Amino acid sequence: MKPAKAGLAKVGSQACKLCHRVQFASWSETAHARRNPPLDCEGCHGAGSEYKAMATMKDPAKASAAGLVRPGAPFCTTCHKRGWSDGLLKKAHAHKG
């Protein structure tokens, strides 16, 4: 995982939900969503101000260059110190087929 890009602004999970309904719905049922404050989309994927546009999101390289973070074990294990397995990543939220 690359670190979050500096200087980006958060757009809020409701903006993510517009296109990522499946992921948002399954995330809403997780412990991440129930935390106070919640560990939301941008808490894991970086602030979305520069990568939220559809044209950017449809191009993985462009989205990454614009600040999209694809978290992996190094990020997740900052909190999940015991019992880690890569299968936990799939439980963070559902993905389309």
Write out pLDDT tens, residues 10-32: 999 999 999 999 999 999 998 89
**Residue 85 forms part of a structural domain:** yes
The residue segments making up the domain with residue 22 are 13-92
**Residue 42 forms part of a structural domain:** yes
State the pTM of this model. 0.85
Cβ neighbour number for residue 44 with a 10 Å cutoff: 18
Instruction: Read off φ and ψ for residue 18, nearest 5 degrees.
Output: -55, -40
Q: Name the one residue in this structure whose structure tokens are 């260059």.
A: 65
**Residue 97 forms part of a structural domain:** no
What does 57-70 look like in DSSP terms, one character per residue?
Answer: HTSHHHHHHTT---
pLDDT in tens, 58-94: 999 999 999 999 998 888 898 888 888 888 887 788 7
Residue 59: the pLDDT is 97
**Residue 71 forms part of a structural domain:** yes
**Residue 6 forms part of a structural domain:** no
Average of per-residue pLDDT across 38-46: 93
**Residue 7 forms part of a structural domain:** no
In total, how many domains does the chain have? 1
